[in-house]
Structure 1
Amino acid sequence: MKINKAKPRLLFSNNTLEVNRTAFMERFGVAQTDDFGKHLGFPMSLSKRKEKNFSFIVEKVKSELAGWKSQMLSLEGRAALIESVTATISTHIMQCTYLPKTITSEVDKLYRDLLWGSTADKKKLHLVGWDVVTQPKDYGGLGIKKMELRNKALLGGFVAQASEEKAPWAKL
């Protein structure tokens, strides 16, 4: 097996001298990059502004909801749509990364607006508070999960798996 020389890239700190950059690139035969792009939808290079790193999640939710005419769906249909979109959001990202509150709040706002039929042009009255809507169905809610709580639950599951001594990767 051989390394594909077209794929590897070096990302240098701003403090790295140009002489050292050149030496590394020549020694390893690898080009320099400013951005590694994405892997499984997750940005490989993270900026200091966490909101910027995860804004793609909000964009993904917007694109999922954009194709639907929420005015033509019943309240139950809109709730089901929210649940299906929630299930398709990058669960693997939420299992290993605590998302910033601004991101989870923005996604929840998109869901609220869809549920009550609000659009950019026309705001509708939200008939029931979001805290009530997100209660389980047995308690009078619609069972829609808040993004922040879903993120914490997925992280908790990851911690539980990591604490199992039988798993070889947990031993490592």
Structure 2
Amino acid sequence: MHFLGQLIEEKCSQNLWQPVKASRNGPTFSHLLFADDLVFFAKADYINCSAIRDVLNDFCNLSGQTMSEAKSKVYILPNVDRDTRESLCDILGFASTPKLGKYLGIPIKQPETSPKDYNFILDRVKQKLAGWKENMLSLASQSVFIQASSATIPAYVMKRTQLPRRILEGID
């Protein structure tokens, strides 16, 4: 993965891959690497997509590794017209996706994310509570169990996003 990062940095320094900024004065970033998961960021144009394709081809040829095109997706912002989106996907060799989906079981925040995308948290809490026998525990034990179960399940998600009020009320 370090080698892949170097290939990306070379393309960026040659101005063939234009990284993105999270804010007007913020730093630029071109990629995130998580173990064997990769996320690339670039302006949606032909030069950037060709640079990404070149980096991926070079990496695969030199490392002997392959990519799963079935698992790889391209998310292009909705303000890019449909014809351009299709052309860019053809260059990259990956299918376009209208939503970013989930990572590690958590929906990746998007403007159109709805509260129902977080229903899995309520389902997990309900499953946890349904699986125990209340008659086997004292009242104090039941209280501790309910608090521990209902607090730990949403905690991971709450580290990266604010949960909708309806989900929080459902947990309560």
- TM-score normalised per structure 1: 0.52
Aligned equivalent of 1:119? none
Q: Is the CA contact (8 Å cut-off) linking 2:109 and 2:161 kept in structure 1?
A: no
Q: Deviations over 1:107-136 (max 9, x none)?
A: 00xxxxxxxxxxxxxxxxxxxxxxxxxxxx
User: Which of residues 114, 118, 141 in structure 2 aligns to 1:77?
Assistant: 141
Q: Deviations over 1:115-170 (max 9, x none)?
A: xxxxxxxxxxxxxxxxxxxxxxxxxxxxxxxxxxxxxxxxxxxxxxxxxxxxxxxx
Q: Deviations over 1:16-37 (max 9, x none)?
A: 4332122011111111223443
Aligned equivalent of 1:96? 160
Letter in 2 for 1:24: L
Relative distance call for 1:106 and 1:82 in structure 2 (3 A) is: same
- TM-score normalised per structure 2: 0.52
Higher helix share: 1
The 1-side partners of 2:159 and 2:129 are apart by: 23
Write the mapping of 1:19-168 to structure 2, written as runs, cut at 5 A.
Answer: 19-44=83-108, 46=110, 48=112, 50-108=114-172
The 2-side partners of 1:99 and 1:84 are apart by: 18
Q: Percent identity?
A: 32
Letter in 1 for 2:147: E
Letter in 2 for 1:62: K
Q: Deviations over 1:7-51 (max 9, x none)?
A: 321234555433212201111111122344321221126463541
Relative distance call for 1:53 and 1:28 in structure 2 (3 A) is: same
The total of aligned residue pairs comes to 108
Letter in 1 for 2:106: F
Q: Deviations over 1:59-112 (max 9, x none)?
A: 11111112112244321121121133135314232122221221111100xxxx
SS in 2 for 1:89: helix
Aligned equivalent of 1:114? none
What's the Cα RMSD here? 2.5
